[in-house]
Structure 1
Amino acid sequence: MSEWKQKRFWTEATAAPEGDGFTVLLDGRKVKTPAKAALVLPTLAMAQAVAAEWDAQVDHVDPNSMSCTRSANAAIDKVAIQHAEVADMLADYGDSDLLCYRADSPQALVERQSEAWDVALVWAAEVLGARLAARTGIMHAGQDPAALTVLREKTHAFSAFELAAFHDLVSMSGSLVLGFAAALDWRPADAIWELSRVDEKWQEDQWGADEEAVEIATRKRGEFMHAKRFFDLCK
């Protein structure tokens, strides 16, 4: 039996004011989230992006083509009701941040990591007020509690919509610092993404690209770039 798909029943999708925010109307009918909550978005730009996704549907609704809609639904149905738990989970990345765990050999990789990542840690110290220390090897070594507290407070300060985007910026890159760097426009998002792949690129240079690994990295990059776009739509 084929999977049931919702048919397009509307002629026009538009953004409209709704309370303190904005919503999306399908021929005047308000869109709701999968949990049947009101789809109230923080900015007109986000509402227009979501409306454009609904307007782009042809015969049937394809959720895979509606990334902004999915992120908005996640912010309302999931993140908003467990904001503290999500923020704590993401803040925990700071104590085992990708940028802090360095190889002890070969020297070329050591230098490549240092060149790529040291500047990001300096940025975090200067802009975020949180100085994380690099370690050699893979054994966990805790970071300065004061620095982690600063990063935790900044993570908790994000709105539900920002936190939904920040989740993917951090989880896709494996780095809380890079998540903040992307959110706060330290460098272009694609350049920040490349910093998260220093180790993988090294392996590719030595042994060649693995098709499955490349496919996974491509998917993650797409999710990272979307997350940056969605974060910016919150402003």
Structure 2
Amino acid sequence: MWRSCLRLLNGGRRLLNRPRGGLSASVGPRSNPQPPARAYVPPTERKRFYQNVSITQGEGGFEITLDHRKLKTPQAKLFTVPNEALAIAVATEWDSQQDTIKFYTMHLTTLCNTSLDNPTQRNKDQLIQAAVKFLDTDTICYRVEEPETLVELQKNEWDPIIAWAEERYGVEIGCSTSIMGPSIPTRTREVFISHLASYNMWALQGIEFVVTQLKSMVLTLGLIDLRLTVEQAVLLSRLEEEYQIQKWGNIEWAHEYELQELRARTAAGTLFVHLCSESTMVKHKLLQE
């Protein structure tokens, strides 16, 4: 799962073609001189100002160092992540930047900034409620009544995922052709709330991010539970759009760019959830493919 997400995260935009500095991960205290998330809008690009990216282990976790400067969050907090695997993934984003730093491609860094700064000041319960709320408008629960070919396509592609989720969590979800959507039972919400409560705050930030990309709680759970790949989840979330494209055609470059971006964001969020849930250290071969 990690390697697949890393490929999707970096492959679409060819971020790893020309790395500048050598990525080193020196674990241990180091005394270096001390010289973007929802409520924060970073600059879209900035000239690259560093050569080397390294990782050090501090008292609060793993830190990212750009040459001799420790990375900070938009609110000027020390950028510290809870485990080495996540630090390696974030460092790779920074090491992959070329002449300019394209902040809009650095989804893992942004998710870490959001987790550290918590710009909207939400607690765990609020994060869970924000994710579960998507059940009311879940993409794969809304069905069309015509044309017949699209009706069949939705049934064939979406029904197995809903059936999986209902069996996996012991709940009822269903679907509807009404503009009001399906009526989600109270018990179903309670089960999903209880399930999400098993994740930490960092992982919940990632889950909400993925849910927002896919517009589907069910697809997100299928992705995180390894029932779906990133490619499958993205395709299922865009089923009607892909149907229309096949029927009427599309602007090729625009469609491809949008698809790659959605895959990259979804892959980043999924990787973030798994890395934030990881309790053991992952060796540096995580980056090798």
TM over 0.5: yes
Cα separation, 1, equivalents of 2:148 and 2:67: 62
Hey, which of these two has a bigger chunk of helix by percent?
A: 1
Measured after TM superposition, the shift of residue 77 of structure 1 is 1.4
Q: What is the aligned counterpart of 1:228 among 270, 273, 279?
A: 270
Q: What is the aligned counterpart of 1:21 among 61, 74, 99?
A: 61
Question: Retained in 1: the 8 A contact 2:53–2:66?
Answer: yes
Cα separation, 2, equivalents of 1:206 and 1:61: 39
The 3-state SS of whatever aligns with 1:22 is: strand
Q: What is the aligned counterpart of 1:96 among 137, 141, 161?
A: 137
Measured after TM superposition, the shift of residue 142 of structure 1 is 2.1
Report matched runs for 1:174-189 at 5 Å.
174-189=215-230
Question: Retained in 1: the 8 A contact 2:141–2:182?
Answer: no
1:205 corresponds in structure 2 to 246
1:142 to 1:45, Cα distance in 2 relative to 1, 3 A: same
1:39 to 1:199, Cα distance in 2 relative to 1, 3 A: same
Cα separation, 2, equivalents of 1:64 and 1:98: 25
Question: Retained in 2: the 8 A contact 1:80–1:160?
Answer: no
Q: What is the aligned counterpart of 1:219 among 250, 257, 261?
A: 261
Question: Retained in 1: the 8 A contact 2:61–2:81?
Answer: yes
2:74 corresponds in structure 1 to 34
1:85 corresponds in structure 2 to 126
The 3-state SS of whatever aligns with 1:36 is: coil
Cα separation, 1, equivalents of 2:45 and 2:138: 42
Q: What is the aligned counterpart of 2:95 among 52, 55, 60?
A: 55
Q: What is the aligned counterpart of 1:116 among 146, 157, 160?
A: 157
Sequence identity of aligned pairs in percent? Answer: 27
The 3-state SS of whatever aligns with 1:17 is: strand
Cα separation, 1, equivalents of 2:267 and 2:159: 23
1:80 to 1:156, Cα distance in 2 relative to 1, 3 A: farther
1:46 corresponds in structure 2 to 86
Q: For each residue in 1:165-209, what CA deviation from the matched residue of structure 2 results, as whole angstroms up to 9, or x when unmatched? A: 212211111110101111121121111211111111121122222
TM-score by length of 1: 0.85
Measured after TM superposition, the shift of residue 106 of structure 1 is 2.0
Measured after TM superposition, the shift of residue 128 of structure 1 is 2.5
The 3-state SS of whatever aligns with 2:118 is: helix
Q: For each residue in 1:209-230, what CA deviation from the matched residue of structure 2 results, as whole angstroms up to 9, or x when unmatched? A: 2569724444323211222222
Q: For each residue in 1:138-169, what CA deviation from the matched residue of structure 2 results, as whole angstroms up to 9, or x when unmatched? A: 23342111001111232343222212221221
Cα separation, 2, equivalents of 1:138 and 1:171: 20
Q: Which runs of 5+ in 1 are unaligned?
A: none
Higher mean Cα deviation, 22-31 or 87-96? 22-31
Question: Retained in 2: the 8 A contact 1:172–1:223?
Answer: yes
Question: Retained in 2: the 8 A contact 1:88–1:156?
Answer: no
Cα separation, 2, equivalents of 1:218 and 1:53: 17
Q: Which has the higher contact order (CA 8 A, sep 6+)?
A: 2
Cα separation, 2, equivalents of 1:114 and 1:88: 28
Cα separation, 2, equivalents of 1:79 and 1:4: 21
Question: Retained in 2: the 8 A contact 1:87–1:163?
Answer: yes
Q: For each residue in 1:7-46, what CA deviation from the matched residue of structure 2 results, as whole angstroms up to 9, or x when unmatched? A: 52x5532222233632223345432211122322122111
1:38 to 1:114, Cα distance in 2 relative to 1, 3 A: same
Cα separation, 1, equivalents of 2:46 and 2:250: 37
The 3-state SS of whatever aligns with 1:130 is: coil
The 3-state SS of whatever aligns with 2:80 is: coil
TM-score by length of 2: 0.71
2:29 corresponds in structure 1 to none
Question: Retained in 1: the 8 A contact 2:45–2:102?
Answer: no
- Whichever residue aligns with residue 104 of structure 2, its letter is N
Report matched runs for 1:123-202 at 5 Å.
123-202=164-243
